[in-house]
Amino acid sequence: MSTDNETVKVWDPFVRLFHWSLITLFAIAWWSGENHDMDRHRQAGYAIFALVLFRVFWGFAGGRTARFAQFLKGPGAIAAYLKTHDGETPSDGHNPLGGWSVVALLSVILAITLAGLFAVDVDGIESGPLADWVSFDQGRMASEWHEGVFKAALGLIGLHVLAIGYYQILNAQNLIGPMITGKRDRTKGEAAADVTWSPVAALIGIAVVGALTWLVMSGFKLG
């Protein structure tokens, strides 16, 4: 907690683990989808589903900078940030604009997985675990949404990478390092406290999300 340290912890381990796991799994899901490796595609999808659910939970129960209430700001704060931001003063976690980017990314990725759960392929052979709750035509529609929102997600991911490149190169602000180590350099006189998190909350989240994911994977067929 000492403010004498030269670095400050800004991202709790679950935020970082979530971030890098999501990238890896998104790549696996993309690759397996393109190559019709549907068993692997479904596995990657379940893992992504669990990750995003956990991140939403963590948005209420995680470390300071993980919480939606901490980083979702109104239009006034966004305008003020755009006007005053000098490219040198780091935000405490997500900046007012980046916070909404997080919500947008989480929303599209959740939408892709939800559509995927009901999706049916053109031959009626491959399908998501909940596809038997819908008709063939509805399943085909889910499949088109799955694909359409995926393209939107690629656009948002591109924007996300561009924004990081902007801070990294034009503002000399290292955003990638802290997402790996959790720490960033303190600016002079900055009094921000280290991020703390509750292992109990994390365990509860993992248990609840694990159970929900298992239910979805089994198509809500119990026994």
Partner 1 sequence: MTRVKPMLLTAFAAALVAGGAIASAASPADTIAARQANFKKMGGAMKALKDELGGGADKAKLAAAARTLAATARLQGALFPAGTGPSSGVKTDALPAIWTQKPVFDAAAGKLVAEADKLVGIAGSGNTAAVLAQFKVVGGTCAACHRQFRAEE
User: Site residues (CB under 8 A) for partner 1?
Assistant: 120, 122-125, 127, 131-132, 135-137, 139-140, 219, 221
User: Which of 83-114 are b and which e, b meaning 16 or more Cβ less than 10 Å from the residue's Cβ?
Assistant: eebeeeebbebbbbebbeebeebbbbbbbbbb
What is the closest distance, in whole angstroms, from the C-beta atom of residue 46 to partner 1 in the complex? Answer: 16
Euclidean distance between CA atoms 51 and 210, whole angstroms: 10
Choice between 53 and 115, CB closer to partner 1? 115
**In the complex, minimum distance from the CB of residue 36 to partner 1, in angstroms, rounded to a whole number:** 8
Nearest distance from residue 119's CB to partner 1, in Å?
Answer: 11
Q: Cα separation of 202 and 223, whole Å?
A: 28
Q: 8 forms bridges with which residues in the sheet?
A: 184
Mode of pairing for the β-strands spanning 183-185 and 7-9 = antiparallel
- For partner 1, the closer CB: 126 or 194: 126
Nearer to partner 1, 51 or 119 (CB): 119
At its nearest, how many Å lie between partner 1 and the CB of residue 218? 10
Q: Minimal distance in Å, beta carbon 178 to partner 1?
A: 41
Of 125 and 172, nearer to partner 1 (C-beta) is 125
In terms of CB distance, is 5 or 35 closer to partner 1? Answer: 35
Where do the H-state alpha helices sit in the chain?
13-34, 38-61, 68-71, 75-84, 96-118, 136-165, 176-181, 199-217
Place of tokens 């796991």: 21
CB of 35 to partner 1, least distance (A): 11
Of the two residues 19 and 140, which places its CB atom closer to partner 1 in the complex? 140
**Is residue 120 within 8 Å of residue 136, measured between CB atoms?**
yes
Q: How far is CA 137 from each of CA 110, 133, 141, 149, 150, rounded to the nearest angstrom?
A: 22, 12, 6, 18, 20
